Structure formats: structure tokens, C-alpha cells
Chain A
Amino acid sequence: MERLTFDLAATPLRELNTFLHKDARDGAARHVTVLNPDGAHNIAVGLDCPVEVEIVGHAGYYAGGMNKAATITIAGSAGTGVAENMMSGKVHVKGFASNGAGASAQGGLLVIDGDAGLRCGISLKGGDIVVGGSVGSFSAFMAQAGRMVICGDAGDALGDSLYEAVLYVKGSVKSLGADAQFEPMSEADIATVASLLDQAGLDHDPKAFKRIASKRSLYHWNADADQEY
């Protein structure tokens, strides 16, 4: 069966996720449409196969959480922790995303067409995040690896305590967090931004972005760093 539809107004979430974990992995459907999500939490979490899931409406917390290999599209907004700890595949939010979007993601691509709330990309561990709009404060806090492209503005303390993740921002940055700094864009950076924008289906000039990375001054314990550490 190529396509299947689940209506969450009539079908329990457990049934949907069971299908996605077992039958979809066994090839029972390549495309699953989810109707009437109505902000339900934990839709399509823990997927482990290259199935396409289209959620028609708003999703609650952790939609697409720990995704591996699947392509999940949310034709609406997403709650806290969308695509958290994603391993691979793609999650695309066509509306807005709440707090902690893409938290600790280790791989894959998270695209948010609208704005993202606080702590977008917190503890990022290797995934890529592209935000069409703006991100809230403390985004990319302690981000270890991976890339974030922010087409709008960033709130306070962007990139606080960054490790090796790299951030690209087109708009204004209210403030940088501890140990984060602006750096010049290289040709490689421009190519990276162009590629990520292309994958996200967004049209911006890659040269208009600023690069933010870690100063690495807090990589070792330092008494003079005081509260910054």
C-alpha cells in the first residue's frame, strides 16, 4: 500500500505510532497522512524507516522526536521539542515552532518556515536547523556540533557556551551568549548556507548571513572566567 490516512479524531495516537514503528517499517505504506492532529503530543516519534508522514494541522510536543530516516511534514505549527534528538531524515514545520525545537538533534534537517521559540537548537549535536523566521533567546545554548541558519533575528544570548556548532544569522542578534563570537564568512560558509537554504526551499542571499562560532575560551577551566564559566 503506497498511501494511508490516519484520522486522529477517530484513531488513537498509539495506533498510528504502532503502524509507523512496525508496518511502515515493513513497507506497508510509503506515505502516511495524519488528519486532525489537533495539537496532540508525540505524533510520529521514534520513526526508524524512510516513510513520509504528512501531519495536516498543528502538532503538540515532540512531533517527529528522535526521528531516523523519515520525512515528516507538519502543515501547521509545532509544540515544544519538535524533532528533538533527531538522528537523520527531515522534519519540516510549515508554521511556527515552540521552545526547544531540534533540541540535541544528532543528524538530519529541521526546517521551520516561521519563527521558533526559546532555546531552538539547544544542545545540538550534529543536526542542521534552518529557521525561516526568528529564534528566541538562548538558542543554540551549549550546541556541540551541527549548523543553524536563522533567516530572521535572534534573541538574547545566542550561542551561549557553544562548542563546535556554527550559527548563521541574517537579521539582528539581540546579544551573544558567553564564549560566542562573530566571525568572517568564508567561501565554505557561504556554500554551506546556500546548500541548507536550498534544502529548506528558502530564497535568501547566502552572503547576507553572519557567522557565529565559539571563542573556545571556556574549553578549559579558568578562574578568571568567573560567572561566564
Chain B
Amino acid sequence: MESKPVHFKNISREESYGYDRKTLDYIRNAAAHGLYEIRGMGAKRKLPNFDDLVFLGASMSRYPLEGYREKCLTKTVLGTRFAKKPIELEIPITIAGMSFGSLSANVKEALGRAASEVGTSTTTGDGGMTPEERLSSRTLIYQCLPSRYGFNPDDVRKADAIEVVIGQGAKPGGGGMLLGQKVSPRVAGMRTLPEGIDQRSACRHPDWTGPDDLAIKIQELREITDWEKPIYVKVGATRTFNDVKLAVHSGADVVVVDGMQGGTAATQTCFIEHIGIPTLAAVRQAVNALEDLDMKGKVQLIVSGGVRTGADVAKALAMGADAVAIGQGVLVALGCNGETYFQNGGHHDATADYNAIGTAPGYCHHCHTGKCPVGITTQDAILEQRLSPEVGARHLRNYLKTLNMELTTIARACGKQNVHHLEPEDLVALTIEAAAMAGVPLAGTSWIPGKGF
């Protein structure tokens, strides 16, 4: 008797683990183009993050504060080590450096307006300082980047603090790439480059080669500014313990540690996904370095890279950060990846524009192309009108205020009348990996992996 045919339905439809559709696409693209992928946004895979931690709210052993009544202070002072004029902020949430060139002038203005309204700082980026952002920002941090595009002493003197950028969380060790379609006449002029060419940013500073030189460079910036302005040093999170120590030895007033979940306007995907360490791990290493040097509280720590919510902010502060900086979350608040944009008094559907560049709302990573359907990461004269400074600033102000409300309500639940009193003891981890990285106990135990029971 002939046997009934067997249909290996599940096997024939099963995706390979090692060669899943994503990997197959990668190989086919590489074979077709001979170029690695450049894109915007951050990592597209799940990494250990602040969601892997939870707070131990007060109960018997701690006494909570009334969430809707009792005051919780958020004032934050940065740059108290050497500078005559430290930065004083109303909230410990700052806006990370993002360049004009990557972002439109309207967006830069919106960032300044919103930051000023809630009493925090915004930061320039690769490409220099625009008059719009200086005018709109009460407190503006001026980045000194390896490319030195548009960097000049006039703007140094106009800034409230200077951030020497060594690396970025999305691409430690790598420079930038602003593709030609975003190098408009204004961008080209600011960067002293021909219009429309692909603009490479250097990965290392032109006039120094290591931490010993950096110490002298920082002294130069101090001399130029008559020791008034704080000097920040920003590192992409990799060998964070040593890098933070070296930044402190070099004379930084403030160290900024940017974890690998940070966004980018345009970087090789292989960098975004495979270089750097998660922010969660970087915070612990940074705090350990400061404590090892007995500089905790003397040199302030700003943490960035994938900070999205008030809970993230609270967890970063509890782990030892003095403030956080947000980039990608800020863009989302402005409308990044949204289905609509607001223009001429009404909402307009942007879906067709997303489709035209081969993506969809919620999945877009086309910051590098300059064809941002909601007018944020563009230099296109028509597209940039889709984000007005006023509307953008209102949304961003709302976002920052929400984060701060969440932060303070969590702090009060932990019994703190000042958000800077949050401490590692307030946290536990939900996974062994997060417990090990963050250096806090696994929930329900007193076990911190690597530290014994």
C-alpha cells in the first residue's frame, strides 16, 4: 500500500536562526551595492536597558512623600569644579548635541525655545552654532568636535559651556557622514565645504592625540574663556571606567557618557549595532570611576543614550548620574516617525511620503537622506516647513515637563525631597544581566552578580 505523502509544512516555512530574513537582506544588499548601510536612529535590537530595573518604592522601611503635594527639588548645577560660572538648570534633563545640518534650522530653534522655557540647556552639534539657537537658548552648550566644522572663538565666547566631544554612543571610534543631499548652501557655508558633496567628519581631533594633550587643550579653552565656562568631555561608552578616569585627569568639569542606544543622524549600521556598550553598563562604570577617584559630586556626570521616559531619568540619577541628555527622544517629541505633521493650522498625513522613501511611520530611519517626511532631519526648503519652531517647542516643552513630573513622582515615592537624593539602594534588577551591568541586586535577593551573596 502506498504511504500518504508527508507535508513538512513547519520545516519548509521555518526561518533559519543564523540566516534570518534580516541577515539574508543584509547579504543581498552588500552583494548588490558593495557598500555598507548608512542610516539614522539607534540600535534596532533589544539591549539591556533601564526597563530592566525597577524602583523599590517606600513602604515600611522607607517613608514616602506625598506625590501630589510635597515638594521635590530638581535644581541641577553642573561644572562646579573649576568654572567661575557653573551651569544652573531647573531640571536634570538636558538636550543632547545635534547638528544644524543633520537637523533643520527650525528644529534647532524649537530645541532652544523649549529648553529655555523649562529651564534647561541645549547643545550645538557638528557644524557650529546657529544664530537661531543662540538667540532661543537661555543656556547653550557649544560642542568642540573632531571635525571642528564652524568652530570659532567668537562662538566659544558666546557659549555657556564647552563640550569637547571625543565620541558618540552610536559610533564610538567613528566619524560622521552627512550625505550630499543634506549639504545645502547654508550647511556648506558653515562647514567650509562645497555644496552637495558627501561630508565626512573626522573621528579624532586634529590638534591632539591623547589624554595628556587633551589636558592642555582643556586649559587652552579655559584660558580663552578666562576660566568662566565649564568644560564638558563627552565619550561614547566603551572602556568607560578608564575613559571617565582619563577625562577627569584631563581636567573635565563634567563628563558626558553616551551609551550605545544613542541615536545618530547617519552612521554605518555595523557601528550602531556592534560598537559600544549599553547605557546601563556605562553608567555603573562611570560612577565607579568617579568614586574610585573620590570625584563623585565634584565632577558631574551626564548620561545619555536611550533615555526616553521619566523613569529612565530617575534610574540614571539613582545610579549616580547628575543629569541626563536626550537626543532621539527629543526628536520623537517633535514628531519624528509620526503619521502626521502640523502645518497651516491643520494636520497632514505623511504616510505617502514615508512610503516614497521605502519606509513607514514608526519605522523610519532615513535621517541621513534628508527626506524626513515630518521636516525634522532635513535641509529641504519645503520639508523643513513641516516643523515650525513654535509648534515643535510646545511639544518638546510638554515632553520635558512630563519627564520631570514622572521623575519627581518616582523620587517622592522613594521618600526623596530632592531628585538628586535617589540612590542605587532604591533600585533592583529584573534580570541577572541587568543586575550585573547596573551593579544592583537581582529583585527579591541581595545578590549582585560578581559581588557574591
Contacts and interface: CB of A to CB of B under 8 A. Distances in A.
Given A41-B220, A85-B151, A144 B33 contact: no
Contacts of A17: 223, 226
B135 interface: no
Nearest to B153: A66
A215 interface: no
A37 B52 CA distance: 56
Contacts of B208: 80-81, 100
Contacts of A100: 206-208
Which secondary structure characterizes the binding site on chain B? loop
A72 interface: no
Interface in B338-392: none
Interface in A15-58: 17-18, 21, 41-42, 45-46, 48
Which secondary structure characterizes the binding site on chain A? loop
Given A42-B220, A123-B202, A68 B207 contact: no
Contact of A142 (B33, B35, B202, B226): B202
A61 B219 CA distance: 10
B295 interface: no
A125 B192 contact: yes
B81 interface: no
B220 A106 contact: no
B67 to A, nearest CB: 49
B131 interface: no
B180 A220 contact: yes
A169 B207 CA distance: 22
A122 interface: yes
A42 B197 CA distance: 35
Nearest to A81: B207
A87 interface: yes
Interface string A117-129: 0010011011000
Contact of A106 (B34, B152, B206, B223): B152
Interface residues of A, number: 43
A65 B144 CA distance: 14
A85 B194 contact: no
Contact of A125 (B148, B180, B226): B148
B180 to A, nearest CB: 6
A27 B406 CA distance: 54
B224 A103 contact: no
Contacts of A104: 148, 151, 206-207
A155 B202 CA distance: 21
B202 to A, nearest CB: 6
A144 B153 contact: no
B179 interface: yes
A17 B221 CA distance: 12
Contact of A46 (B147, B153, B202): B153
Contacts of A164: 193-194
B147 A42 contact: no
A65 B179 contact: no
B217 interface: yes
A125 B154 CA distance: 16
B374 to A, nearest CB: 25
A96 interface: no
B200 A161 contact: yes
Given A100-B208, A163-B193, A62 B153 contact: no
A182 interface: no
Contacts of B180: 219-220
B153 A48 contact: yes
Interface in A200-217: none
Given A62-B217, A84-B207, A46 B194 contact: no
Interface in A161-203: 161, 163-164
A68 B153 CA distance: 8
Contacts of B291: none
A65 B192 contact: no
A206 B224 CA distance: 37
A194 to B, nearest CB: 25
A100 B208 CA distance: 8
A3 interface: no
Given A46-B223, A161-B200, A223-B35, A60 B216 contact: yes
Contacts of A81: 207-208, 217, 220
A46 B193 contact: no
B220 A65 contact: yes
A39 B227 CA distance: 21
A31 to B, nearest CB: 21
A123 B220 contact: no
B147 A123 contact: yes
B153 to A, nearest CB: 4
A14 B224 CA distance: 10
Of listed A100, A106, A123, residue having the most chain B CB within 10 A: A123
Nearest to B33: A223
A41 B35 contact: no
Interface in B373-423: none
A42 B191 CA distance: 26
B220 A62 contact: yes
Nearest to A164: B194
B198 interface: yes
Nearest to A48: B153
B343 to A, nearest CB: 32
Given A46-B225, A223-B34, 15 more contacts: A18-B226, A45-B220, A61-B216, A81-B208, A81-B217, A99-B207, A104-B151, A123-B206, A125-B192, A145-B192, A161-B200, A219-B180, A219-B197, A220-B180, A223-B33
Interface of A: 13-14, 17-18, 21, 41-42, 45-46, 48, 60-62, 65-66, 68, 80-81, 84-85, 87, 99-100, 103-104, 106, 119, 122-123, 125-126, 141-142, 144-145, 161, 163-164, 219-221, 223-224
Q: 9 nearest interchain CB pairs?
A: A46-B224, A223-B34, A81-B207, A103-B207, A66-B153, A100-B207, A104-B148, A219-B197, A103-B206
